Structure formats: structure tokens, C-alpha cells
Amino acid sequence: TPASFRGSPLARISEHVHRAMREAFATPGAEYALLLEDDLRAAGDFFDVFSAGVALLRRDATLWCASAWNDNAGPASRNYAWRRDALRRTAYFPGLGWMTSKKRWEALFSETWSAAPTTGWDHWLRANTGGRECVFPELPRVRHAATDGSTNV
């Protein structure tokens, strides 16, 4: 990592995410960890997505995460008949409220985490999933509430 990125907002966020996941999995008995950014608001059935995600991660080694976000369900797609009960698969890391297992975290990320990814921790994750995929809902179960910040969308 170039020295110019160390200490940048992206590097600090990356360090925070890595530490949060490390500490979550250091908790005795923790098999899964869910990361929810502080400016996200969750739908009432938010945890249903992750209950299904746990079951899928347990039985499908080609998955590494479950996410509450769908990048493609915005205003431009309002005429599409999105289903509340449907999950989809993607090779792209959706982020924005996501969960992984301790097993996948240790195999894919814990030892190789980039201290200062030049384009953000989520971009780094997308490039290092070992070909595994994520499940996500057709209808997002989170939304951003903040209007500013270092990487707000």
C-alpha cells in the first residue's frame, strides 16, 4: 500500500472494519458477524435476510456473505415487480449491512486484510473473495440516513 494512503479516511475506515470483525469473531461461540454501518436504517424484517443467510452459508461453500442491500433496486427500477421474499446471488459484494461466517472470514480475509486499501475496504473485499458469492434481497432492507461523511452515497 502506498504510504500516501496510510492515515487517510479510507484507511481509517478499513482499520475500523477489520478491528470490528476481528473482535466479533474473538467472542467465544461467535460463528457469524453482522456489520451494520452507523448511518444505516434497517427495515422491520432486516434480520430475516440474515436468518436465511446463515442457513445458506452453512450449506453452500460457494457463498461467503449475506447482505441487506441491493444496488439495483433504486428509483430507476420502480416499475419492476420486486419480491420481498426473494434472495439473489452475486459475485459483487453489495455491502451496506452484511454478514459472514467466522470460517469464511478466517479463510479469506483475516490474515490478508489491507491496512490501507487505495479505493476502500469494500473494493478490496470484492477483489479477494476467492470466487465466492453473496446473497442479497431483491428489496433492500437498509437505507442510508446520513447526508455527509467520508464515503457517503
Q: What are phi and psi of 18, to 5 degrees?
A: -60, -45
Q: 38, 39, 48, 122: which one is catalytic?
A: 122
* Active-site residue flag, 60: no
**Max CA separation in the chain (angstroms):** 47
In whole angstroms, what is the distance from residue 7 CA to residue 63 CA?
32
To 10 degrees, the CA torsion angle through 30, 45, 98, 29? 0
Grid cell 452475486 is found at 90
Provide the H-helix boundaries in the chain: 9-26, 46-59, 102-108, 121-126
In whole angstroms, what is the distance from residue 37 CA to residue 63 CA?
22
Indicate which residues carry an active-site annotation: 122
